[in-house]
Amino acid sequence: MPQIEVVRLDPDLALPTYARPGDGALDLVSRVDATLSPGGGRALLATGLSIALPDGWAGLVLSRSGLAAKHGVCVLNSPGLVDSGYRGEIMVPLVNLDSSMPFEVRRGDRIAQFMAVPVESVTWVEVEKLGVTDRGDGGFGHTGV
């Protein structure tokens, strides 16, 4: 299991935890209170954490399924990306997609999930033509769904 160095910028907030053994992502909490207005209200929320991901790793900031399903609240740029070289505070841009109800975030509320994933750098290889596949250039909606 990789170890990630973390600085707790707010000592009163707990470190992220897995809700259950075997879960793929840790819960992030808000360092601040905020109100997300209905119909697209958004806020950039601090988590009180700075981390040092090892080279070859990245962090993904993901929406919490319960907030999305029950309240229409999602991570705006989901998934958000934390690069291994970033050392600032992890911030979460939340958006309220509910058309009529504001959403209140309180300090300490679970607002997003964080997943550490291994990544590889790539090198572009320019070619004249790409290989043929069954799918070809079929894009959005090409299967009829």
| Contacts of residue 141, Cβ cutoff 8 Å, sequence gap at least 6 | none
What residue ranges of the chain have pLDDT lower than 70? Answer: 145
Dihedral of alpha carbons 29, 33, 39, 40, sign:
negative
Rounded to whole angstroms, the Cα distance separating 125 from 22 reads 38
Instruction: Pick the closest to residue 109 from 53, 43, 60 (CA basis).
Output: 43
Contact 28, 14 (CB under 8 A): no
Residue-level pLDDT at 143: 73
Residue-level pLDDT at 145: 63
Residue-level pLDDT at 141: 75
Residue-level pLDDT at 50: 98
Residue-level pLDDT at 138: 77
Rounded to whole angstroms, the Cα distance separating 66 from 135 reads 34
